[in-house]
A and B are shown apart, each in its own frame.
Chain A
């Protein structure tokens, strides 16, 4: 059973556009929601994370929007660049410390120049 559902599976965006990736979860005990970026042949790299006490977190061109009542969160990449082309994973964990991560299936983002 997939604890975190991610969509779309793949996304093609023009350079300068906005990339939006969505995730949904069922377990209300989840209290930490990170996004990871993975390039081919590399390990996932932590991009940005949010806790449910805030509805939005922004770091540079990357923004997480969080809707606790809908149990959904999304990643927005503003001014998308070809260098952003990678696979993005959302994840969730329960318990504030040392919790295992439940990952979405990933979104392969391609940004055309």
Chain B
């Protein structure tokens, strides 16, 4: 158990809908990362937050957004969902350490029908 929690575990929704994925980082970790894992793209970085502020963006679609709250939990919002958005979404957290050890949560499996 990495100490990172994600909810829900599974999400099934229809095209055009909007969903919110939630992540709670390990106790003491200020940085949260979101990654998408799909068969064709592998593990892809989406976005990073550090202590409530956006720090880096990857190949995140404009339909996707995220935020980190004062209690350090983070939410990833996916809107106008398409079939191709079906994937595993992982959250990872790290503290401000020299070696950037990132610890991953169990993921949310999103299925868009």
Q: Report which A residues bind B (CB closer than 8 A).
A: 32, 34, 36, 42-46, 49, 51, 89, 93, 95-106
- Give the secondary structure class of A's interface: loop
Are A97's CB and B42's CB within 8 A? no
New A-B pairs, 20, CB < 8 Å, besides A97-B97, A98-B48: A32-B100, A42-B106, A42-B107, A43-B4, A43-B104, A43-B107, A46-B103, A89-B43, A93-B100, A95-B100, A96-B99, A96-B100, A98-B50, A98-B56, A98-B94, A99-B100, A100-B48, A101-B45, A101-B102, A103-B44
In whole Å, how far is A65's beta carbon from the nearest beta carbon of chain B?
Answer: 18
Contacting residue for A32 out of B43, B99, B105, B107, CB 8 A: B99
Contacts of A104 in B (CB 8 A): 42
Contacting residue for B42 out of A32, A34, A96, A103, CB 8 A: A103
Contacts of B90 in A (CB 8 A): 43-44
B31: nearest residue on chain A (CB-CB)?
A: A98
In whole Å, how far is B62's beta carbon from the nearest beta carbon of chain A?
Answer: 19
Decide yes or no whether B98 CB sits under 8 A from chain A: yes
A51 and B99 in contact, given A43-B2, A43-B90 (Cβ under 8 angstroms): yes
A100 and B106 in contact, given A43-B90, A49-B101 (Cβ under 8 angstroms): no
